[in-house]
Chains A and B, each alone.
Chain A
Amino acid sequence: MNAMSPLAAGVTITELAPTVRIALRLADISTAPGLALPVKVGERSAEGGRTVLCLGPDEWLIEAPEAGRDALFAALGAISVPHSAVEVSDREITLELEGPAVLTLLASGCPRDLARMPTGSGARTVFDSAQVVVTREAEDRFHLTIWRSFAPHVRAILDLATRELAAGL
């Protein structure tokens, strides 16, 4: 159906391959020097394929390719103070949204003003009542990380909004 083509909608949605994800809780970032933890909520560091997003004052989401698993686990194992590092790789799936209409598409479910989100940063927020993590990979490319059980709900809204965009609504 021509009206559903990504070209007409101005945005494409791609489900990304599985990746290693760690939810880290830690009181003092100086105790994990090997992880390049950003300090400010929303900031994200990227280094050798690994990214670290600061979700809260003592909480980070670390994503790494499968090939970087051992190096990441070694860095986590070197932390010598009480902390929590939980592997949540399978808990979420990530959708890549890309195209000139990406902000309009995200606005179909996310109340946050994502036009103000700087490229290279991210945040935990909400998408039609499902908690999600949004990161801005480029001016017109976002990643949406969704808890697996909420993913069909979020995807259905995104697909509907894509059809509406393609139809010029």
Chain B
Amino acid sequence: MLLIHCPYCEQDLPELEFAYAGEAHIARPADPSKLTDEEWRDFLFIRTNPRGVHFERWRHINGCARFFNAARETVSDRFLLTYKAGEPRPDVAKLTGVAQ
């Protein structure tokens, strides 16, 4: 079973306790009424969908119930790092050792 490190519980715990919650670091526009339809569409629906390191939200729903962020390699499904909600996006090069 895939183990995920919860940054609040500080333990590696089974995937069944967690729920995926979409891409991380997407800020809601400060003034939505100023956005064009295209910008609003991009905010709502357009995601990076990378082949490689993906920054994404997870929720430890059957545990401490916190949302947190993870950097996951989408090819290998390996979690490179998890970190608390609100912390800055980590540097991909530092995570993988490869400049991107």
Q: Does A146 contact B (CB under 8 A)?
A: no
Asked whether A126 lies within 8 Å of B64 as measured between CB atoms, the reply is no
Q: Are A131 and B62 in contact (CB under 8 A)?
A: yes
Query: With an 8 A cutoff between CB atoms, is A112 at the interface?
Result: yes
Which of A41, A57, A123, A125 gathers most chain B CB within 10 Å?
A41
Contact status of A111 and B64, CB under 8 A, knowing A56-B8, A57-B8: no
Q: Report, as a range, how many residues of chain B touch the other chain.
A: 10 to 19
Q: Are A111 and B14 interface neighbours, CB within 8 A?
A: yes
Q: Chain A: how many interface residues by the 8 Å CB criterion?
A: 15
Q: Which residue of A42, A129, A131 is within 8 Å of B9 (Cβ)? A: A42
B13 touches A112 (CB 8 A): yes
For B65, list chain A residues within 8 Å (CB).
55-56, 59, 124
16 further interface pairs, Cβ-Cβ under 8 Å (given A111-B16, A124-B62, A125-B63): A41-B10, A42-B11, A55-B64, A55-B65, A56-B8, A56-B64, A57-B64, A57-B66, A59-B64, A111-B15, A111-B17, A125-B17, A126-B16, A126-B17, A126-B62, A131-B62
Across chains A and B, which 9 residue pairs bring their CB atoms closest together, nearest first? A56-B64, A111-B14, A126-B62, A111-B16, A41-B9, A41-B64, A56-B65, A131-B62, A57-B8
